[in-house]
Structure formats: structure tokens, C-alpha cells
Structure 1
Amino acid sequence: MKATEVPAITGAYLFETTSYTDERGSFCRTFDADVVRSVGLDPDAFVQDSVSRSVRGVLRGLHLRSGAGEAKLVRCSYGRIFDVVVDLRPHSPTYRDRAFFELTDETQTTLYIPAGCAHGFQALTGTADVSYRIDRPHDPSEDVTIAFDDPELAIPWPLPVTSMSRRDREALSLAQVLKHKEG
């Protein structure tokens, strides 16, 4: 497993696996505390693991946590997703920059998203399972959602949206979220 910095988002990393394949199938390590530690992250900081299952075209996000934010490790454990990160940390050199990734079950690459960044994804396959590891317990009162189709972000979602949660449909614009964060 190796860690690679994401140039578009300061502090974000891709943790790429090495897959071993034979007649039985394949094997890869999806988490290695030493590799996580080697880039200055505390592997023991992650306190909750979750999984979502989505069907093709489902869009989840863009999600953010208020307060101290939430750092997370995200991996597509089954299927394929188009993944988006938006840096909303005011003092970051990549403030308001975006990064796009295709995460797949074939590579099992894990994306580290620093606290203060918004995150969303769209399922590209019939079924897509996404595994999340977060660094503090989830508190729904801190949930913030930014409109997936905000023209200021101009995210090139690859498929028409087939479904999303009510929360995501009623999301605020980026400008509204930033105004609320400042106020």
C-alpha cells in the first residue's frame, strides 16, 4: 500500500493498494496504520465505520460537517463511483478547489478527505458500496449539505441523477453555506 498526495486538495491522500491475484481471486490490504501514520495522520483517530449501498445514478452529497468538521477515509468496496471533494477550509491554499476521482472495487483505493472539505459521489454501476471511516462520532445536528448542481462548483456529474435523499434535494447553495459558516 502506498500513499499519494492529492495536489488539488491540500492534506488529501489516496491510499493505493497492491493486489495479489491467483486462481482463487485476489487479495489486497485496504488499511495499514503504518502507511497512514507515514503521512502524518493518526490511524487511531478513526472511531466509526459505515457502508452505503447505492444503485446506478444515485447521488449522495455534497456533505459537510459544521463545527470541527469530520475527516474521513472513503473507499468503493463494490462497484464504481464518481467521487468529489471540495475544499471549504478558509485558510487552506486550495480553498474552494475541487477534485474528482473514480473509485472502484478493482483498485480498492481509499481516499482520505480532511475535515472541512465537502464530499459527494455518484454511483456508476448497478450497485456501488461505499465504505466510510470517520474520525468522530456522527452528530446529525452538524450535517450541512451543498447543492450538487451549484453552478459555482460546476461539477461534471457523469450520469443523470436517478435518486437522492430529500436532504440532498433541498440543499443550500455554496454561497449560502459559506455565508452561514462566516456568520
Structure 2
Amino acid sequence: MYITPSSIPDVKLIEPRVFEDDRGFFMESWNARVFAEAGIDHPFVQDNHSRSVKHTLRGLHYQIRQPQGKLVRVTQGEVFDVAVDLRLSSTTFRKWVGFYLSAENKRMLWIPPGFAHGFYVTTEVAEFQYKCTAYYSPEHERILRWDDPAVAVQWPRPAPEEVVLSEKDRRGVSLVTADVYP
């Protein structure tokens, strides 16, 4: 398994070793010892699985209390996955990183607590799975606008009117007025 820090060093791209043959493939998607050696030493308490159609954009979500670290991967299709640093004391505050994750490339992304997270579906459908370090807490959930100019994520998307958003995500706020982490 190859674990590489991104341009925001706490966010890590994980590329598993994949063993393929005529029958299919095998890969290790989680190994506590290997991840701990790479600085990812958090207990996971919840697994989530979503399915989304093309042009769906989910995010940018975070929890102001009970912040969640997430280990994310795609098991069908492809997404462009984004993490935004909301840690006010961080040297990378307000910066974002994005990676294509797909069933084909089998990459995973570690997003530590203190980040907003979202993804955009680039294929007809995508199945997205992730492990969380804290339970979902709707009363602490916050949503940063996906198109906030204060962050300026460069989403690979069609015209804004083609982006599929939930009503909740439409109500996201700008980083200028958002709750952030100390």
C-alpha cells in the first residue's frame, strides 16, 4: 500500500497494492498497523455507502462538533473528491485538494477531522463508501457552499444548472460566515 501526503500533508492519498488475474482482483483496503505507521491512527465507528447519478455534487459537509475523519473510496464509477481545510490554526486553512477516485484506480483518500468534504460524480453512476471516526451528528452538521469563491474549488463540471444538488446542499454558506475549527 502506498500512502502519500497531498499538498495539504494531513490529507493522504492511498493507493493499495492490487493483485489481478483472470478471476478478478484482490486488495487490502484497511490495515490498522499500516495506516498507523502512516499517521492515520483513528478508530472508525461508522461506515457509509451512497449511490449517486452523474453530475451529482454532495457537499461540502462537515461537523463543527464531533468532527469526522473519513477514509473514502469508490466501488463503482468515478468521482472527483474534495477536502477543504477548515482548521483556523492550520497553515493550509482555506486550501483544498481534489483527486479522482474510481472503481478502476481503486485509490482511497484519508481526510482527517477538521475538513469539509464533498464529491462530484463524473460517470453515469457512482457508489461511494467511507469509514468515519465519529458518528453522524445532524445538529452539528454544517455545509460550505460547493461554489464558494472564498475557497474556489475547481470542480470538473458542466454548466452550473446541470449540477444536481440536494436542497440541504443548496443552502450551504460561504467560508466567510461559516463556523470553522479553532
TM-score by length of 2: 0.92
Structure (1 or 2) with the greater helix fraction: 1
Residue 4 to residue 142, structure 1, CA distance change in 2 (3 Å) = same
CA distance in 1, matches of 2:151, 2:123: 24
TM alignment of 1:1-183, pairs within 5 A: 1-6=1-6, 8-43=7-42, 45-160=43-158, 161-177=162-178, 180-181=179-180
Aligned-residue sequence identity (percent) comes to: 38
- What residue identity is the alignment partner of 1:24? R
Runs of 4+ in 1 over 2 A off after TM superposition: 40-43
Write the letter of the residue equivalent to 1:138: Y
The CA distance in 2 between the partners of 1:90 and 1:181, in whole Å, is 7
Distance in structure 1 (CA, Å) of the matches to 2:94 and 2:149: 13
Larger displacement relative to structure 2 (95-104 or 154-163): 154-163
Mark the runs of 5 or more structure 1 residues left unpaired by the alignment: none
Once the two structures are superposed, residues 98-119 of structure 1 have per-residue CA deviations (whole angstroms, 9 ceiling, x without a partner) of 1110011112211110111111
Note the aligned Cα RMSD (angstroms). Answer: 1.6
Structure 1 residue 162: deviation in Å? 3.5
State the secondary structure of the residue aligned to 2:139.
Answer: helix
> What displacement does 1:181 show?
4.1
Task: Assess if the C-alpha contact under 8 Å between 1:46 and 1:135 holds in 2.
Answer: yes
Quote the offset at 1:78 in angstroms. Answer: 1.2
Contact map agreement 1:17 1:107 (CA 8 A) in 2: no
SS at match of 2:177: helix
Q: C-alpha displacement at 1:146, in angstroms?
A: 0.7
**Which amino acid in the other structure matches residue 9 of structure 1?**
I
Structure 1 stretch displaced more, 96-105 or 160-169: 160-169
Structure-2 separation of matches of 1:10 and 1:92: 11
Tell me the distance in 2 between the aligned counterparts of 1:89 and 1:72.
Answer: 16
